[in-house]
Structure 1
Amino acid sequence: MTRLFASAIFCFALFTSQFSFAQSAQYPLVKGFGGIYEVPDATEKPDPSKEYFILIDMTTGGAENAEISRWVDNVARMMNLHGLAGVPKERMHIKVVVHGGAIFTVLGDEAYNKRFGTDNPNIPVYDALEEAGVEVLVCGQSLHARRLAKSDLYPGVQVALSALTTITTYIPQGYTYLKF
């Protein structure tokens, strides 16, 4: 009986030790999306005392229409990585300009459903990004080229004249340019 009990304790300890090294994803700035992990050995980290001005040029759409685009989620990851390093959302000034194949990620559910037969899985991510202070802009030229209207978009997105003019407006203002 004691041997059986000791074996059971050993198996339980072995089983639970497997989970002590596993980390749960963290979402410090964008809640529920863009999960990231602590890296205790990292020597290069964002400086929490700095202001971050970042312009993301998003042209790549999702691989699967019924799944969140990895590029939309990557915006959340970038925000959360800064948050993990202690950068508060007030110091993060992020603009995402969406055009090209990524334009479908900003469609409202009705237009997305018409095109792909499912609700837009990216809208909750965009909502969480906006809650974290991210401004999402869509290229008006891409809208026109694809015969889409503002009414086809989810409510949080703003329409820019073009991605080109948005980029040339914010880069001279000191925004770091990232291409997704």
Structure 2
Amino acid sequence: MRPLCFFLIFGIGFLPGIWPAPALGAQERVTPAVPFGGIYAIPEATVRPDPELDYRLVIDVFTGAEEPDSLGGGLYHVSRLLNLFAVAGVPADRVQVVLAIHGAATYGVLTTEAYRERFGVDNPNLPLLRALQQAGVRLTVCGQSLIGRDLAAEAVSPEVEIATSMLTTVAMYQMRGYGVFRF
């Protein structure tokens, strides 16, 4: 009976799967390309972006913020994408990104004044938009989404270009060889 009790008390702890595996390189988030969208470096990764390739992406950004005082989810994921390429050693000049912003994400491109008038708070996305632009991202917003939401062209932040539509922007860049993401 004693050996069985000993095994039950001490031996079970050595069985695989009983204790959680140690975290994969537990660490702090880093933001090497854009000061938003922190990510984790995964030095153990065997599937990594190739720093010799050119990455050309048009991103259909439709996810807006859950609350007016928080960042838009789609824009946040774009910052994460840039940081992931950077932490993998892909040079910034090998990553070309165009955003086709529309739908609920449209509100994230409003000027401070227009955003405050509509939501009662300053637009928290403006610093992120500026950081994305400084990182070389081309920012476009769907003109159809602006009109559909009764937003004037003057309400759009100067970092953002107005496009005919998200649909034509994505189609145009896809025909130029850009891969399509959707956030």
TM bracket (short chain)? 0.7 to 0.9
When normalised by structure 2's length, the TM-score is 0.84
Q: Equivalents in 1 of 2:47, 2:26: separation in Å?
A: 23
In structure 2, the partner of 1:28 is 32
SS in 1 for 2:175: coil
Moved over 6 A (4+): none
Aligned partner of 1:147 among 137, 150, 169: 150
Aligned residue pairs: how many?
159
1:90 aligns to what? Answer: 93
Q: Which amino acid aligns with 2:167?
A: L
Mapped to 2, the partners of 1:143 and 1:149 lie a distance apart of 7
1:146 Cα offset (Å): 1.5
Q: 2:50 aligns with which of 47, 50, 63?
A: 47
Q: Secondary structure at the match of 1:159?
A: strand
Q: Which runs of 5+ in 1 are unaligned?
A: 1-20
Q: Percent identity?
A: 45
CA deviations 1:9-68 (Å, max 9, x no partner) are: xxxxxxxxxxxx7522211111x1111111122111101111100011011111111011
Corresponding residue of 1:159: 162
* Structure 1 residue identity aligned to 2:38: G
Work out which of the two has the higher radius of gyration on C-alpha atoms and give 1 or 2. Answer: 2
- Aligned Cα RMSD in Å? 1.1
Corresponding residue for residue 40 of structure 2: 37
Task: Report how far residue 70 of structure 1 moved.
Answer: 2.4
Where in structure 2 are the equivalents of 1:80-159 lying within 5 Å?
80-159=83-162
Superposed displacement of residue 176, structure 1: 0.8
Pairing of 1:55-70 with structure 2 (within 5 A): 55-70=58-73
TM-score with structure 1 length normalisation?
Answer: 0.85
Q: Contact 2:63–2:73 at 8 Å: present in 1 too?
A: no
Corresponding letter in the other structure for 1:24:
E
- What CA distance in whole angstroms lies between the structure 1 residues aligned with 2:74 and 2:143? 20
Unaligned runs of 5+ in 2: 1-24
